[in-house]
Structure formats: structure tokens, C-alpha cells
């Protein structure tokens, strides 16, 4: 089934004249940072970009809540809309709200807008957004139509293989989305009902790649160069998106890009350089969120960094429960440097 006849006719002419494409050099190298709620905030995206990611995506913004947020609120500042390699991701259930939110973020400087039709969270699905739209492709098309028609910048789509194993319909959605002007699609190789369990099925992404001519990006369980190579080989995709693999390793996207696409190798920090990077990330979060909230939000990142460093449990607990930021900063060398811990 195609999209509604009137919608399809309207957009065939638009595609030929107005709708911009997303050439792969816009995501060069084609290694992207996935949007992860509560994790890929502006300080983290800035850090990842600094190492050399091809593109980063803002945390998912609920269009209705975005429209009612006060001017100058942190929610709107968080987007980083005007940053060159940033896509702003929107989710929603009504075409009107999605279109208006898209117009607003384009006005804030967004160069690419991404539509979320893949989030499996019960709160999002219960609001008839995210991956819930895989159960109603006609309504999904109405949302896509509204966003593409509202803006002049490229619009991309992120989704999953389908709602469950009995309904792998991402290829149909991708075809219909392409006909409406979607410029690129990211496929997480799981169904909604899988959430993040089991293994991502990269080979299933081949069906979506074969169905469209726009770029297709593979996502799910891509954590390093080896998994990226395998995902590309099995999916035939044009690039990869990394999510949880970047936790505690903000350089991993640049490392994958260097190994696969020949971009400059990142200078992966070690020793005191690693301490300096983590301290700078921590302080950037304090500046962005404010001292109290920033300290709390930073704990998950500090925990991942300490996992990589093999921090002893007592020191890890101290840092993750400390309320004073200076105490945290003072403890980081002991927590992260093996030679300091041994000397102590």
C-alpha cells in the first residue's frame, strides 16, 4: 500500500523541486551518534563531535512539550540546533504539532530534522509516538508529510524493523517515507517488542536498503570497529549509528571512522590527558545544568569512565555520592590513574 493518493501526488512534485537530499558528505564520515535520552545531551554531543563524529543527533524532543516550553528554556537550548553536524530529533502524534515544532527548530538554525518512529519506551508508545507508529503507517505518513512540507531543510527518519516479529514493515515505511521526501533513514535492527534484548539483526536491514534509493544507516549493537564492519557487511547500509557503545568512550565513533573510512585517527586520551578530558566534561555539565543538577546527571558518565579505568569500589562510591563538585574533581586522579592508586 502506498500513502494516501492525494498526499503522494502533492509530494511527487515537491520532491523534484524543493526537498533537499542528504548526500553522504553531509554525514562524512558516515558514523553517527544515536540519540539516547538522558545521555547524549549537549555537553556529551560536543565532546563526541570534538573527536570526529560524522553527525550527532539531539535527544528526542516531544513536539507538544517543545511548543509549550518557555522561551530560553534549557529544553530549547539543549538542542544545539545551530551546530553544523547536529540533527534535531522530534517525536509526536499530531501532524500540526510536528510541523510547527519543525518550523521552530529550523528557525533556530537546525540544518537537519530527524523524526523518531523507533523509541520503544512505554511512555512514548503510550502517547502514540515513537515506534507505536509502526502499527499505523498511514498515520506515520501523515506526520512525515507534515514535517517535510513545513521546512526547507532535509528531514530524516529513525525507526525499527517493525512492531514485532510478525510485522516487519520497515521496508514499506521506508518506501512510503522516501516518496514523501524523507532524505535518509536509520534502522535499528530490532523490533519494538524486543526493546534492547537479544541481538540486533543487521541482515534484516538489507530489505530496507533494497527498497529505497536514499541512504540507509544501520543501528543497534554497534560498539566498535569490528561490529561496525560486520553490520555494514550484513546490512549493505551506507553508514552506522553508535549509541551505547559511546558511553564512557566518546572517541569510539572517530576510531571507527578512522579504521573504516580512513579519516584521521583520534588522539585517544590516556593517563593525565584522560583525567583532564573527564574533568572538562564534568565541568561542562555543571555549567550547562547548574551545579546541583549537573552533579547528579554527570554521575552516569563518571560511572562509565570509572568502569573503563577499573576504579576501586570504595572510591567509585565516593565520587558517585559526593555532593560537592570540588570533591569529585579532587578525587578523579586517584580514581582514574593506576599509578596514583598504587602510590596511595
Kindly give the parts of the chain with pLDDT less than 70: 1-26, 70-78, 125-128, 195, 338-344
Q: For residues 112 and 84, what is the distance between their CA atoms, to the nearest angstrom?
A: 9
Distance between CA atoms of 28 and 32, rounded to whole angstroms? 9
What is the tally of helices (H) and strands (E) in the chain? 16, 9
Helical residues (DSSP H) of the chain, grouped into ranges: 5-17, 42-51, 63-68, 74-77, 95-107, 122-126, 137-150, 170-179, 205-211, 225-235, 252-261, 272-289, 291-309, 313-321, 325-336, 338-343
C-alpha pair distances (Å), 162 with each of 190, 193, 343: 8, 9, 54
Determine whether 119 is an active site residue.
yes
Predicted pLDDT at 208:
97
Give the start-to-end residue ranges of the domains of the chain. Answer: 5-261, 272-343
Rounded Cα gap, residues 262 and 269, in angstroms? 20
72 is in an annotated binding site: no
Q: Is 114 helix (H, G, I), strand (E, B) or coil?
A: strand
CA distance linking residue 328 with residue 344, whole number of Å? 17
How far apart are the C-alpha atoms of 339 and 344, rounded to whole Å? 9
CB of 234 closer than 8 Å to CB of 206: yes
Q: How many residues does the chain have?
A: 344
Cβ atoms of 309 and 335 closer than 8 Å? yes
Residues 6-22 have pLDDT tens digits of 333 333 333 333 334 44
- Is residue 336 within 8 Å of residue 305, measured between CB atoms? yes
Return the pLDDT at 12.
Answer: 35
Q: Which superfamily, per CATH, for 5-261? A: Aldolase class I (3.20.20.70)
Q: Which residue has the cell 529505497?
A: 212
pLDDT at 85: 87
Residue 299 marked ligand-binding? no
Write down the pLDDT at residue 170: 94
Determine if residue 323 is labeled as part of a ligand binding site. Answer: no
pLDDT attached to residue 71: 63
Residue 115 bridge partners (DSSP): 90, 157
Residues 27 and 249: their CA atoms lie apart, in Å, by 20
Distance CA 186, CA 61 (A): 17
For residue 25, count other CB atoms closer than 10 A to its CB: 9
Q: Is residue 11 a known part of a binding site? A: no
Catalytic-role residue among 3, 119, 141, 193: 119
- Three-state DSSP class for residue 4: coil
- The CA distance from 78 to 344, in Å, is 40
The pairs formed by 4-12 with CB atoms below 8 angstroms and a separation of 24 or more are 4/138, 4/141, 4/142, 7/141, 7/142, 7/145, 7/180, 8/179, 8/180, 10/145, 11/145, 11/148, 11/149, 11/179, 11/180, 11/181, 12/179
Q: Is residue 260 within 8 Å of 228, Cβ to Cβ?
A: yes
Annotated binding-site residue? 188: yes
Q: Is 335 in contact with 299 (CB distance < 8 Å)?
A: no
Q: Return the C-alpha cell found at 292.
A: 546541583
Q: What is the pLDDT of residue 64?
A: 82
Amino acid at each position: 500500500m502506498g500513502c494516501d493518493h492525494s498526499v503522494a501526488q502533492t509530494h511527487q512534485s515537491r520532491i523534484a523541486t524543493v526537498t533537499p537530499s542528504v548526500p553522504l558528505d553531509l554525514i562524512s564520515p558516515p558514523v553517527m551518534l544515536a540519540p539516547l535520552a538522558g545521555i547524549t545531551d549537549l555537553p556529551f554531543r560536543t565532546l563526541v563531535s570534538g573527536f570526529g563524529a560524522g553527525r550527532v543527533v539531539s535527544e528526542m524532543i516531544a513536539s507538544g512539550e517543545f511548543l509549550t516550553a518557555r522561551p530560553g528554556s534549557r529544553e530549547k537550548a539543549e538542542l544545539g540546533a545551530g551546530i553544523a553536524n547536529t540533527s534535531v530529533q522530534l517525536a509526536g502524534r499530531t501532524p500540526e504539532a510536528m510541523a510547527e515544532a519543525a518550523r521552530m527548530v529550523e528557525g533556530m538554525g537546525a540544518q537537519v530534522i530527524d523524526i523518531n518512529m523507533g523509541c520503544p519506551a512505554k511512555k512514548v508508545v503510550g502517547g502514540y509516538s515513537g515506534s507505536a507508529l509502526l502499527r499505523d503507517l498511514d498515520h506515520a505518513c501523515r506526520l512525515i508529510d507534515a514535517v517535510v512540507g513545513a521546512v526547507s531543510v532535509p528531514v530524516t527518519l529513525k525507526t525499527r524493523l517493525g512492531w514485532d516479529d510478525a510485522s516487519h514493515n520497515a521496508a514499506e515505511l521506508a518506501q512510503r517515507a522516501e516518496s514523501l521526501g524523507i532524505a535518509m533513514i536509520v534502522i535499528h535492527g530490532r523490533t519494538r517488542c524486543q526493546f534492547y534484548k537479544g541481538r540486533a539483526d543487521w541482515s534484516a536491514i538489507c530489505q530496507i536498503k533494497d527498497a529505497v534509493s536514499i541512504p540507509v544507516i544501520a543501528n543497534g549493537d554497534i560498539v566498535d570497529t569490528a561490529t561496525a564492519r560486520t553490520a555494514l557487511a550484513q546490512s549493505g547500509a551506507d553508514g552506522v549509528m553508535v549509541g551505547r557503545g559511546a558511553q564512557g568512550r566518546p572517541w569510539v565513533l572517530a576510531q571507527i571512522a578512522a579504521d573504516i573510512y580512513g579519516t584521521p585517527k583520534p588522539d585517544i586520551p590516556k593517563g593525565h590527558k584522560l583525567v583532564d578530558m573527564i574533568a572538562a566534561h564534568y565541568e561542562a555539565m555543571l555549567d550547562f545544568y547548574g551545579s546541583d543538577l549537573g552533579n547528579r546527571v554527570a554521575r552516569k558518565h563518571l560511572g562509565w569512565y570509572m568502569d573503563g579505568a577499573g576504579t576501586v569500589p570504595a572510591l567509585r562510591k565516593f565520587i558517585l555520592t559526593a555532593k560537592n563538585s570540588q570533591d569529585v574533581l579532587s578525587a578523579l586522579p586517584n580514581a582514574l590513574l593506576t599509578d596514583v592508586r598504587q602510590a596511595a
